[in-house]
Amino acid sequence: MAKPAILTVDDDPEVLQAVSRDLRHQYGDRFRIVRADSGITALDAVQQLKLRNEAVALFLVDQRMPQMGGVEFLEQAKVIFPDAKRALLTAYADTDAAIKSINSARLDYYLLKPWNPPEERLYPVLDDLLDDWLAGFRPPFEGIRVIGNRWSPFSHQVKDFLARNQIPYKWLDIELEPDAAKLVEYAEVDGTQQLPLVLFPDGSRLIQPSNLEIAAKIGLQTQAERPFYDLAIVGGGPAGLAAAVYGASEGLSTVLIEREAPGGQAGTSSRIENYLGFPVGLSGSDLARRGVTQARRFGVEILTPQVVTKVKLQDPYRVLQLADGSEISCHALLVATGVSYRWLNVPGAEKLTGAGIYYGAAMTEAIACTNEEVYLVGGANSAGQAAMHFSKYASKVIMLVRGESLSSSMSQYLIDQIAATANIQVCTGCSVVEVKGNEYLEEIVIAHAKTGQTETVPARSLFIFIGASPKTDWLDGVIQRDAQGFILTGPDLMHNGKSPQGWHLERSPFLLETSVPGIFAAGDARSGSIKRVASGVGEGSIAIQFVHRYLSNV
């Protein structure tokens, strides 16, 4: 943690040097001594300290300075650091002004110049002031701070990216946090339209940054270290992470490319309770963190956020083209891109996405929903897990389920938990047909299949968990997919005992191999897969055995 600061201000260079020397001699081991030669310069320094989230313990300021006197400076500085101790250095002629400032500037003490010897006339006073300050000091949060608006899609994007990549941050809502508006002013951001503002511990800042800009700043790897790998994996969900761990542990040079954050859709789950080996369950973020740590331990390169836009076949190589124009070559490619929730296709939804309408669990919004009613659309496990999580914060969670019951799509343990949770209400035969709001979500229109009637209810938060669409468009024209875009593999490619069109090998495709030799698929993006974390992990690990068999003949 950075040392708390003692700021001393004096326009006389000799006095400023002397007081800084004495302060550094006595307190330099515990405090950082900052000095300024004018009130205006000092005020700017105070604002920069606030932007860097550093603490100020004491202001020691000369009274008689041009442009801005000591008392005037202290009055303005106390707004920025209200808990800092304030002491005034005065000449004898200024004692009346010092006494009057005890109330106006909440002055803690005034000292007469000269203060020699400091052991008798300076240190005892400052020791008492600093001891008092330290008794109530609580170290500030040292990580990234995000200042924005709850209803801003840009703000949601930044929070979600940091959270899913498990980067600690502090959220400051411009409408709720008094310090937020001040920090925006000190950072010279032009109004709330430029939010979010992201402040980093080193004092730097980004305004409305992209995920890639944040990644570069916090040190996430987005560029490959080598041009060629034995195995490239696209997608960092359970299947991709498992394949990375097994591939690298068995000696394959492995790179994993993930467009958002490792963990995939499973990484957003608040609680996974039916995964083998974790009897009390674990969160999706914990599972992702463990998987990433394990993969890196075996030497896997993880590129995130990074997007593969195209794959080219240059036998025996598969060449991946990335969004930034760079390329990575590999012998074997595993596609584990998973699925994404389908968009809510109703009037008003596109406009309000990120401003009250969210896809997936959106854990970053849970605290903001405290004591509010939350609506969830969907009836599968992901919706059930989210309902249980939000029930800890919301006054009520209303699940809107199109089907007649939860039993056809949700695990029984979740059904039982939901039934036992008093503030969760399940509305079967219900669907959202319209959403309304100007700057943010204000109302939703719910259709009831049983009665044929609709009702309009006030709503601030609507979370969507409907269906699943595979992220495989970038493979169009390269490998065979089914009508929904899921990747066909192994036996599903065979027709009347014949290999797929364009297949030139004597053998048939391996179990998890696609219509192109050396390109494999695992997890939710594969046609016929079981949409569970454990099956994704299983497929990812099994795929490596087929990769070895393929590579043995390359």
240 contact partners, CB below 8 Å, separation of at least 6: 233, 234, 256, 258, 264, 334, 336, 522, 523, 540
Whole-angstrom distance, CA of residue 348 vs CA of residue 443:
10
Map out the domains of the chain with their CATH numbers: 5-136 (3.40.50.2300), 144-218 (3.40.30.10), 228-340+469-551 (3.50.50.60), 349-464 (3.50.50.60)
Confidence (pLDDT) at 100? 65
Provide the token pair at 89.
């250095």
Burial class (CB in 10 A: 0-12, 13-18, 19+), 271: middle
* Phi, psi for 278 (deg, rounded to 5): -125, 80
Whole-angstrom distance, CA of residue 1 vs CA of residue 396:
40
Q: Indicate the SS3 state at residue 526.
A: strand
Confidence (pLDDT) at 102? 63
* Phi, psi for 32 (deg, rounded to 5): -95, 125
Distances (CA, A) of 126 to 22, 57, 362: 12, 11, 49
Q: Give the pTM.
A: 0.85
Distance of CA 350 to the CA centre of its chain: 22
Count how many Cα atoms sit within 13 Å of the Cα of residue 44 in the half-sphere of its side chain.
6
Residue appearing with tokens 């899913």? 164
Confidence (pLDDT) at 6? 98
Confidence (pLDDT) at 190? 80
32 contact partners, CB below 8 Å, separation of at least 6: 2, 3, 4, 5, 6, 54
Provide the token pair at 436.
């309304």
From first to last of its 554 residues, the chain has per-residue pLDDT tens of 689 999 999 999 999 999 999 999 999 999 999 999 999 999 999 999 999 999 999 999 998 888 898 889 999 999 999 999 999 888 765 666 666 666 666 788 888 888 999 999 999 999 999 999 999 998 888 899 999 999 999 999 999 999 999 999 999 999 999 889 999 999 988 877 889 999 998 889 999 999 999 999 999 999 999 999 999 999 999 999 999 999 999 999 999 999 999 998 888 888 888 889 998 888 889 999 999 999 999 999 999 999 999 999 998 999 999 999 999 999 999 999 999 989 999 999 999 999 999 998 778 888 899 999 999 999 999 999 999 999 999 999 999 999 999 998 899 999 999 999 999 999 999 999 999 999 999 999 999 999 999 999 999 999 999 978 999 999 999 999 999 999 999 999 998 888 898 898 999 999 999 999 999 999 999 999 998 899 999 999 999 999 999 999 88
